[in-house]
């Protein structure tokens, strides 16, 4: 019998976001005065780090937790994200958002050992990468204009939002497994794909400088995707949903 679990993440896009911020901020620094900006920001770049709690409610997770010594909570793990916001109205932004969440765990069969009385071990891992377009609504004024040029950002601004898009996933399991005959064999099983995604979120921005704000948010992502590997034939769609909380930095552009 073959089972599969989940693989490591790719975060090179995050480095690209950091480099973009490093290039943009010096170029815009001349637009900031002492506690104010020369003009209303056109948008923002957000980089965030947090923790994702996976729903883990589908056949894949049920089989995994039944056979191996992992629990649903073992699929929780770190998340990083990046977001590019475009200001479309005084209290509304449209944002392109990309995030990554993933875990890798060592596991073994709960109730089986090999002929040498040793554990039958595997490495199990999962990646989730939602890509969404969001609309963010700010629940208070984001700042005020003073005269014709100066713009003073508000100190604390709460917001809510919603988005749609797609989630990519990859599951991987490598190690030793037990066949239907009872024989132990080594293998590596992977599966990946895309599924639709819907997201709701809320948070708050706290101004640190005219160009920089501290951001905190909470999000719920709903997403499921079909599993295409023969190892998971007959499985229902894999559950990619979950809650995440994060802290980050917003660079006003």
In a domain, 217, yes or no: yes
In a domain, 166, yes or no: yes
Q: How many domains does the chain have?
A: 1
In a domain, 95, yes or no: yes
Query: For 81-137, what is each residue's pLDDT tens digit?
Result: 999 999 999 999 999 999 999 999 999 999 999 989 999 999 989 999 999 999 999
DSSP-derived pairing of the beta strands 119-138 and 156-178: antiparallel
In a domain, 7, yes or no: no
In a domain, 38, yes or no: yes
**72 near 124, Cβ under 8 Å?**
no
Which residue segment(s) compose the domain that 33 sits in?
A: 12-252
Rg, the chain, Cα only = 22
Q: What is the pTM of this model?
A: 0.84
Query: For 14-37, what is each residue's pLDDT tens digit?
Result: 445 444 444 444 444 445 556 778
Query: For 184-197, what is each residue's pLDDT tens digit?
Result: 999 999 999 999 99
In a domain, 168, yes or no: yes
The rounded distance, in Å, linking the Cα atoms of 220 and 229 is 27
The rounded distance, in Å, linking the Cα atoms of 210 and 212 is 6
CATH classification at residue 227: 2.40.160.20
Q: What token pair was written down for 58?
A: 């589908």
In a domain, 6, yes or no: no
Angle at 202 between CA 198 and CA 206, to 5 degrees: 140
Q: What token pair was written down for 219?
A: 């999000």
Q: Which of 229, 226, 201 is nearest to 215 (CA)?
A: 201
Bridge partners of residue 44, in order along the sequence: 85, 252
In a domain, 154, yes or no: yes
Integer angstrom CA distances of residue 64 from 68, 105, 121, 233? 6, 12, 13, 15
């Amino acid at each position: 019998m073959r089972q599969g679990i989940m693989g490591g993440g790719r975060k090179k896009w995050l480095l690209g976001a950091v480099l973009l911020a490093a290039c943009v901020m010096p170029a815009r620094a001349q637009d900031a005065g002492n506690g104010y900006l020369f003009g209303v920001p056109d948008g923002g770049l957000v980089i965030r780090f947090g923790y994702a709690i996976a729903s883990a409610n589908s056949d894949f997770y049920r089989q995994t937790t039944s056979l191996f010594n992992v629990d649903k909570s073992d699929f929780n793990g770190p998340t990083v994200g990046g977001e590019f916001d475009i200001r479309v109205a005084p209290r509304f932004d449209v944002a392109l958002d990309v995030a990554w969440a993933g875990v890798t765990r060592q596991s073994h069969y709960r109730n089986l050992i090999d002929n040498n009385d040793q554990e039958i071990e595997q490495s199990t891992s999962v990646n989730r990468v939602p890509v969404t377009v969001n609309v963010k609504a700010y629940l208070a004024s984001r700042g005020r204009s003073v005269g014709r040029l100066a713009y003073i950002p508000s100190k604390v601004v709460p917001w809510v939002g919603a988005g749609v898009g797609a989630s990519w996933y990859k599951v991987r399991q490598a190690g030793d497994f037990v066949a239907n005959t009872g024989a132990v064999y080594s293998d590596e099983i992977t599966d990946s794909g895309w599924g639709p995604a819907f997201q709701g979120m809320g948070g708050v921005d706290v101004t640190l400088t005219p160009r920089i704000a501290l951001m905190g948010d909470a999000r719920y992502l709903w997403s499921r995707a079909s599993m295409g590997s023969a190892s998971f034939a007959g499985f229902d769609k894999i559950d990619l949903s979950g809650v995440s909380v994060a802290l980050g930095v917003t660079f006003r552009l």
